[in-house]
Amino acid sequence: MATDYYGLLGVDQGATDDQLKKAYRRLARELHPDVNPDPAAQEKFKQVTAAYEVLSDPQKRQIVDLGGDPLSPGGGGQGNPFAQGGFGGLGDIMDAFFGGGGSRGPRSRSRQGADALIRIDCDLSDTAFGTQRELTIETAVLCGTCEGQGTASGTLPTTCETCRGRGEVQQVQRSFLGQVMTTRVCPRCTGTGTVIEHPCGECHGDGRVRARRTLTVKVPAGVEDGMRIRLAGEGEVGPGGGPPGDLFVEVHEKQHPVFTREHDDLHCTVTLPMTAAALGTSLPLQTLDGEEQLDVPAGTQPDEVFTLRARGVPHLRGTGRGDLHVHIDVQVPTKLDEKQIDLLRELATQRGEERPGMAAKAGNGLFGRLRDAFDGR
């Protein structure tokens, strides 16, 4: 049984192109996956989109009106007796032999709009916890004067005299096979079959104009540098008032003066005096959540890392957060007065470190073999 494409859009069989467009826009706003996450709605959206694509194509719509289904296996359904084998019909067979390939009927003046891209700069706190931004963008929008039709008030497109509304022209050429007829897109109406004799004074027949508008974008918590946020239907309106594309907002995370980010983990470096590392200390540490105390135990070594759990960036998908890794940099003094030198020498004497030597573990290595050789004497 052929699919009821008119029923899917909720229009009568005699619906105009404008009525088809309005019906599809209304259903798309209700069923689009970005608006309605229900799986049943997503499946319905696919069916509605397929129905609009079929009925907005004059050739496919004619097949539907004859009781066929242009999307059924075979291409032409019941209404196209030439839709056999791997060719879409008799026209495709002629194209395969003689290099035709015109539009085979007028195409819609309305076309899908292009996507748009805008970049925003965000601080680490914005990407970590999320934020909202007011964006001012300039895109093509639907012409408010002609509502996308492209014609002046009170006028309609006229049938193209060159192709007589077919959207294509035929030409007979001589070749070694004899006379061959080729088909190409009509150069006057560019395949639409109609000509706008009196274009709209606002959009000059394009059905869209450039305009600035303001919209709000939500930056989710945990987004990373370079990620893009998709705003469905906020891109460029297509020629002839066609459905708009999408707007993509690319996030650029500015460099933080303290933290470096590695996915959801954060890293920072704390510089300690040699004495503080040896004796231990407690110091204030600024995190994304505020100031906290970091306890450094006595005997902390250079390049040691302390990890503060769940003090990093929240996970974009799922729950929980990354960690904050604090790297310890032990600073050795370079300028000492006489008293400080004497104190350090006394400490070295008490610890037996006047002459530091190479430390080696016992075993089968070079130092182990040398020790065994002297011990055997």
Tell if the pTM clears 0.85, that is, is over it: no
Helices 17-31 and 39-55, interaxial angle, to 10°?
A: 170
Residue 318: pLDDT over 90? no
Residue 116: pLDDT over 50? yes
| Neighbouring residues of 297: CB distance < 8 A, sequence distance ≥ 6 | 280
What b/e string do you get for 64-76 counting C-beta neighbours within 10 Å, with b at 16 or more? beeebbbbeebbb
Q: Taking a C-beta distance cutoff of 8 angstroms, is the pair 240, 108 a contact?
A: yes
What is the CA angle 54-56-60, rounded to 5?
Answer: 45
The CATH superfamily assigned to 99-254 is Urease metallochaperone UreE, N-terminal domain (2.60.260.20)
Residue-wise pLDDT tens digits, 2-36: 688 888 999 988 889 889 988 988 888 888 776 67
Q: DSSP H helical segments within the chain, as ranges?
A: 5-9, 17-31, 39-55, 58-65, 90-98, 124-129, 274-279, 338-351, 366-375
Average per-residue pLDDT for the chain: 82
C-alpha to C-alpha distance for 366 and 45, rounded to whole angstroms: 75
Residue 64: pLDDT over 70? yes
pLDDT of residue 30: 84
Structure tokens at 291: 């100031």
C-alpha to C-alpha distance for 95 and 90, rounded to whole angstroms: 9
Query: What CATH architecture does domain 260-334 belong to?
Result: Sandwich (2.60)
**Hey, CA dihedral for 289, 292, 298, 301, is it positive or negative?**
positive
Same fold, 99-254 and 260-334: yes
C-alpha to C-alpha distance for 157 and 195, rounded to whole angstroms: 5
Pairing outcome for strands 324-331 and 265-273? parallel
Residue-wise pLDDT tens digits, 325-368: 999 999 998 888 999 888 988 888 888 877 766 554 544 444 44
Residue-wise pLDDT tens digits, 219-275: 999 999 999 999 999 999 999 989 999 999 999 999 999 999 999 999 999 999 999
Which secondary-structure segment (H or E) carries 215?
A: strand 208-219
Structure tokens at 334: 């370079």
Q: Taking a C-beta distance cutoff of 8 angstroms, is the pair 71, 81 a contact?
A: no
Q: Where are the domains of the chain?
A: 99-254, 260-334, 344-377
The terminus-to-terminus CA distance of the chain in angstroms comes to 103
Helices 39-55 and 58-65, interaxial angle, to 10°?
A: 100
**Hey, CA dihedral for 350, 355, 361, 362, is it positive or negative?**
negative
Residue-wise pLDDT tens digits, 127-178: 999 999 999 999 999 999 999 999 999 999 999 999 988 888 887 766 555 5
Structure tokens at 1: 């049984």
pLDDT of residue 244: 92
Q: What is the DSSP letter of 240?
A: G
